[in-house]
Amino acid sequence: MRREQRPLLRRIRLPLLLPLLALATACSGAVLDPAGDVALQQRNLIYISTALMLLIIVPVLILTVVFAWRYRQGNKDATYDPHFDHSTTLELVIWSAPLLIIIALGALTWSSTHLLDPFRPLNRLSATKAAVPNDKPLRVQVVSLDWKWLFIYPELGIATVNELALPIDRQVRFDMTSSNMMNTFYAPTMAGMVYTMPGMRSTLHAVLNKPGTYEGMSANYSGAGFSYMRFALRGLDQAGFDRWVADVRGRGRALSTANYLKLERPSERVPAMHFAQVQPDLFRRIFERCVAPGTPCMSETMARDRAAGGGNPHAMQMGEGMPAGRGSMPRSKPKGALMKDADEIETVPNVSKPRQPGAPGATDPASSRNRDMTNLLLPTAPGTPAAARG
């Protein structure tokens, strides 16, 4: 009896597990329940794209069942033509329908890519409210740290960690960068994800239309604390946002250079933090990677390089204090391998430099005395004589 029941259990096991698989994906439905107009347009784009693709998928699935049933072996009424090889009408249907779908998807993708460009200011705040041309957006500077989010409000002079409060129905411009690791800023109920990278600045324009508390996260793996790199996204009316700003100014401490350098250290499960004051020009120094005292900013280094090249970007040379390249003098532009003459072949130090006395070579490849790399003799291919090196 038990052996007879096992095949039945195996047949019904998969359908029973399908709902559990859907739950295991941990999809909260935030993408399909937007709180901002940008996320709403992105959701509509998903719906339209899915519907267009289903115009092909659903008929194919239905016709597969219909054809299998109509032309089954036991149906004597179906026409059987073993010499059939061509039907112009059928081929027009088979090829024209997918082609039209691809054209529609291409047009939709092209238009939405430009319309929802994160660098482009919003032309509307909601489906029924256009953006005011002279209305200045709220600026928020975003810095991804290990493993937390820093939000600076430059016009308000405050900053927060792992808490982002925004007034509803007001356009927000986010300027984003990273202090160390490449990351992704993602608030699914507000807008799409945007990458943050050290030494680079990204921009996102978005808006919240519904009050409430939502969740933002990192969508790019960045190390041990990635799973807890989340922040609270709060949508407030203007009066509530003003009260929140006043509360931050009254309770927070100052985000000085010293406090930022402490905050920059890797940490996990960081609670929300408020800063009543922010060091001037902090975001630019983070972006240019010169927060630590004595560290030159990228713009200063590039200015020195341009000056060394006489203002010509093609003649830029390495800046002061930069090491010399192989076969080049300090502050001189190294010559690429493809730009060298024939008589310069095998003249660089790592080929022609003699072995250092006492260097162990291949007997101890990890030794620090193997500096010129000529002692790391590679095994020769079978049947070929070993080349003399060093």
Based on DSSP, count helices (H) and strands (E) in the chain, helices before strands.
Answer: 8, 14
List beta partners, residue 274.
160
Residues 138 and 283 in one domain: yes
Residues 148 and 101 in one domain: no
pLDDT band at 335, cuts 50/70/90?
low
Q: Which amino acid type is present at position 182?
A: M
Q: Is residue 4 part of a domain?
A: no
Res 312: pLDDT: 64
In contact, 142 and 196? CB cutoff 8 Å: yes
Q: Where are the alpha helices (DSSP H) in 252-380?
A: 257-263, 282-287, 298-308, 349-352
Q: Which amino acid type is present at position 127?
A: A
Average pLDDT (279-289) is 92
Q: Is residue 389 part of a domain?
A: no
pTM: 0.70
**Residue 205 pLDDT greater than 50, yes or no:** yes
> Rounded CA gap, 191 and 209, in Å?
12
Chain segment 291-326, per-residue pLDDT in tens: 988 888 888 888 877 776 655 666 655 544 444 444
Exposure of 215 in the CB half-sphere (CA atoms within 13 A):
11
Q: Is residue 186 part of a domain?
A: yes
Residues 170 and 236 in one domain: yes
Average pLDDT (212-225) is 90
> Rounded CA gap, 232 and 42, in Å?
21
Chain segment 127-149, per-residue pLDDT in tens: 888 888 888 999 999 999 999 99
- Of the given ranges (118-122, 232-236, 316-320, 377-381), which has the lowest mean pLDDT? 377-381
Q: What are phi and psi of 258, to 5 degrees?
A: -65, -45
Chain segment 75-97, per-residue pLDDT in tens: 888 787 788 888 888 888 888 98
Q: Is residue 340 part of a domain?
A: no
Domain boundary among 253, 287, 321: 287
Domain boundary among 270, 287, 304: 287
Domain at 253, CATH number = 2.60.40.420
Q: Show the domain range for 61.
A: 29-72+91-116
Q: Is residue 82 part of a domain?
A: no
Residues 156 and 262 in one domain: yes
Chain segment 47-72, per-residue pLDDT in tens: 999 999 998 899 889 999 998 888 88
Q: Is residue 319 part of a domain?
A: no
Res 381: pLDDT: 44
Residues 64 and 173 in one domain: no
Residues 162 and 245 in one domain: yes
pLDDT band at 356, cuts 50/70/90?
low
Binning the chain into helix, strand and coil, the percentages to the nearest 5 are 35, 20, 45
Q: How many domains does the chain have?
A: 2
Res 155: pLDDT: 94
Q: Is residue 357 part of a domain?
A: no
Residues 156 and 238 in one domain: yes
Give me 283's structure tokens. Answer: 């975001």
Domain boundary among 287, 314, 338: 287
Q: Where are the alpha helices (DSSP H) in the chain?
A: 2-24, 37-70, 88-115, 238-251, 257-263, 282-287, 298-308, 349-352
**SS3 (DSSP) at 149:** strand
Res 25: pLDDT: 47
Q: Where are the alpha helices (DSSP H) in 197-328?
A: 238-251, 257-263, 282-287, 298-308
Residues 142 and 213 in one domain: yes
In contact, 159 and 153? CB cutoff 8 Å: yes
Q: Is residue 361 part of a domain?
A: no
Res 355: pLDDT: 54
